[in-house]
Chains A and B, each alone.
Chain A
């Protein structure tokens, strides 16, 4: 199987590249959902409010931090992607796995912590919330599962790939 063992430096680089592919994807997924949330639910549908009177102080801080972080994450992750391509270390399937995991993770956090616990805002107003909440959070969970399956598969492939090279 291992005819020529790769140098320690190369293995380190591959592990680093593998983690970076994942992180770049996760950050992009997170930023993408935050952007989607802002553009579709706040701006187009007006389902979410700019400011909800039930928001607590900690909710406001959390919202501001997440807003700033997701903005940074979207842009930074794409530059990371460009950097991986430049180094010829890009593994698109692993990157997409990260995107789904990041997107689902953010949506679940938004749905459970920000909507329910901190009560920043609700998905809609003056309607029965239950179906909306269920769809929102189940979709988030499905995205997380899809992402994790893809990441696990590319993890196996990468191990085989590394022992082959």
Chain B
């Protein structure tokens, strides 16, 4: 009998070992989440609550951090504030409570939209070019294909700072420095290597017979690609797009070196949020929270494709 149970335990671990494994993993997962949860909580604290010691677990939630993030404020006298009439928004109310008035919108929103424009623009381009190239590499005999593919991969090995110097000079010559277009092209170039590798894997898995059948029915190669292969590759294309998006969304090194104002994205901007008397941590936390939400959603959507994406498809799951 002991033999039977032990033979069984090979494939299926015992209930006890499962439980222990589960407890350890859950403890680790919760520890991992503590910093994120803390940032989320901080974004709803008032500035004094955020810097109290010992750290406060219970506090009265306020939207002050978000309000500080999206507006710039100036300190005013009580008399002046009283002369203003009733507050027009929640944000207005919060600011007036601290003897301040809203002077205008802050820089966060333009930075956030820059992030959106650059991330989505470069993702679209990278996926578009990547799909074409991946199809080319997957279906046609191309001289030195392996070398070309390795060359495409090797462009990822360079430290960003190393290429940043000449790109900085090149962009200065071309008038592309600190423009969204320049950043889109740059991120496209960085992402296209990932896109080609990933999509080649996905397209390799679509049987060639489909296109051949379509071509025998009278489709041209282009029509077969457009009407047969692309619909089959939709899942792969979507997964690739999300990976490109996450990279472009998170990138910092190029952004901090090549943009200063106009085209600056959120990652280099968030650390520069300063309130009166040092860092305005609730505002920083609010900016971080808003910035992280899309990524959290994508992580959940993407969990099955994750492995392929982060390893350039070198490992399949």
The answer to whether A binds B is no
B interface residues, Cβ below 8 angstroms from A: none
A interface residues, Cβ below 8 angstroms from B: none
